[in-house]
Amino acid sequence: MKCISKKQLARELKEKFGGEFILADELVKLGCRLFAKPFPRKELYGDVLLACAVKAHKSLESLTVLAKRGFGEDACVITRTIIELAINILYIARDPRPRTQRYVDWEPIRKEWLWRHMEAYHPQVSKKYYAERKRVLDLYRKVAKNFREDKKKGNWSGITLAEMAAEVEMSWHVHVLYAHLSNLSHSNVVGVKPYIKEASGGRLAVLVGPSADWVGEAIPAALEAVLRVFTLVNQHWNVKLEEELSSIAGRYVALRDHQP
């Protein structure tokens, strides 16, 4: 099929999602100001919160670039990541000290898993990187007992993502939106099928190039998730962004509630 012209697409995207793009740009700019200076170090929870917030900020900027150019499907893959990140840090924030430690201790669990699989295919890798392999194994042995019963969940928290989401009022995001976006991320039939459609004469038409599809799924959910993460940062470090965050949140709700 013929690709839509860039001008026509830009006009369509602005008409449909101009308000969301403005809010996303504002939130990205707010993040640039927020992270422009070093943060005073408090405790491990602060380290993890800051890392998650910076990742959310960078991901929001990248998905906004994709969405504005009509690559909504790829933007949705990033939105899915932001939703999961928000659930993680919001869940940690409900009981910071033990949950932060558990989150951090999961690192050698994952790295040990990766090392075992690398060695299965390339046995020589352990000899070449012996010091790093030993370091990971030593750390793994220190924390493995804490995850013995929970590794089957495949998640650092010992409970499922859905259970974590329920605690932070994001069940809808997991059961509906996250599941919907996972179709694109995993490239199953639901996510792949929209790229072709039946044409006349028993032929297939391919939907190539950018479009306005999926942009509506990508931007709003990411905005909401990043707002919640930035709110945690504001509360933890008292950076006095209440008014700006509240303004963006209020306009986001107004846009959401006026969707047809």
pLDDT at 260: 57
pLDDT at 128: 86
Listed residue (80, 86, 48) closest to 168, CA to CA: 86
Calpha distance 251→22 (Å, rounded)? 10
Do the domain assignments include residue 136? no
Q: What is the mean pLDDT of residues 184-188?
A: 88
Do the domain assignments include residue 67? yes
Q: Is the pLDDT of residue 159 over 70?
A: yes
Q: Is the pLDDT of residue 37 over 80?
A: yes
Residue pointed to by tokens 């846009």: 255
Do the domain assignments include residue 52? yes
pLDDT class for 26, splitting at 50, 70, 90? very high
Q: How many domains does the chain have?
A: 1
Query: Exposed, middle or buried by CB within 10 Å (0-12, 13-18, 19+), for 11?
Result: exposed
Residue 26: other Cβ atoms inside 10 A: 15
Residue 198, SS3? strand
CB 236 within 8 A of CB 49: yes
Do the domain assignments include residue 73? yes
Output the pTM of the full model.
Answer: 0.92
Do the domain assignments include residue 249? yes
Q: Is the pLDDT of residue 151 over 60?
A: no
CB 176 within 8 A of CB 83: no
Percent of the chain topping pLDDT 70:
96
Whole domain around residue 73: which residue ranges?
Answer: 1-94+210-260
Do the domain assignments include residue 32? yes
Our CA angle for 203, 206, 210, nearest 5°, is: 160
Structure tokens at 80: 């899915």
Q: Is the pLDDT of residue 39 over 70?
A: yes
Do the domain assignments include residue 37? yes
Overall residue count recorded for the chain in this entry: 260
Tally of CA atoms within 13 A in the half-sphere of 30 that contains its CB: 28
For residue 90, what are the CA distances in angstroms to 9, 165, 169, 171, 228?
A: 36, 9, 10, 13, 8
Listed residue (176, 174, 179) closest to 162, CA to CA: 174
Listed residue (87, 86, 104, 2) closest to 45, CA to CA: 104
Q: Is the pLDDT of residue 173 over 60?
A: yes
Do the domain assignments include residue 143? no
Q: Is the pLDDT of residue 188 over 70?
A: yes
